[in-house]
Amino acid sequence: MNAISSISALEQEELLLKLEVFKIKGKDKHGRKILRIIGKFFPARFVSVDVVRKYLEERIFPKLEKRKFSVVYVHSGVDRGENFPGISALRSIYEAIPMTVKENLEAVYFIHPGLQSRLFLATFGRFLFTPGLYGKLRYVSRVDYLWEHVKRNEVELPEFVYDHDEDLEYRPFMDYGLESDHRASASLDSPLSTYSMRCIS
């Protein structure tokens, strides 16, 4: 029995809510709402695509249909085995986004992308997403650069994001995938103790 089948759909929704994977809070410097997504908190092994779509359709999309907004996606600490739902799942979730929401999206700020994620998006991004959305993607290699677009006190970032930022300052080869972050495998910053802190992307 896999991890997804071991918990009910309701429990999966409650898990997404508890982890605050998707959270609408704050505004950017243009006064637009911000949808913050924490990649490391996404429990890919524990939630199905259908549950994620339902969660977004009921709790997130209705709040984004009437006004322009930006997305702040935090990639720091993401582990492919734990947090990546797969290409087909990403495509399915993207296709579930209502047209009104897609039209209101102004920018996607991708924090700490890493070499592998850059290559992935360069290779598959144009197939997964429309040219309009792909063109709104902005890579943010350091948190300080985010504040050029987003009001500093409007977005709450977990402490491990700043820790990763500091690691990149002292170990710049991590930006290019030539060095990995071999921190301890457990962290109090992560809502699930089963999640690894090792950044491989």
Q: pLDDT band for 170, please (50, 70, 90 cuts).
A: confident
DSSP for residue 188: T
**What is the pTM assigned to this prediction?**
0.80
Q: Which residues contact 124 (CB under 8 A, 6 or more apart)?
A: 87
Write out pLDDT tens, residues 32-80.
Answer: 999 999 999 999 999 999 999 999 999 999 999 889 999 999 999 888 8
For the structural domain made of 9-176, what CATH number should be given?
3.40.525.10
* Lowest-confidence segment of 3-7, 76-80, 135-139, 148-152 by average pLDDT: 3-7
Strand spans (E) along the chain: 22-27, 33-38, 69-74, 105-111, 137-140
Query: For the chain, what is the mean pLDDT?
Result: 83
Q: What is the pLDDT of residue 1?
A: 38
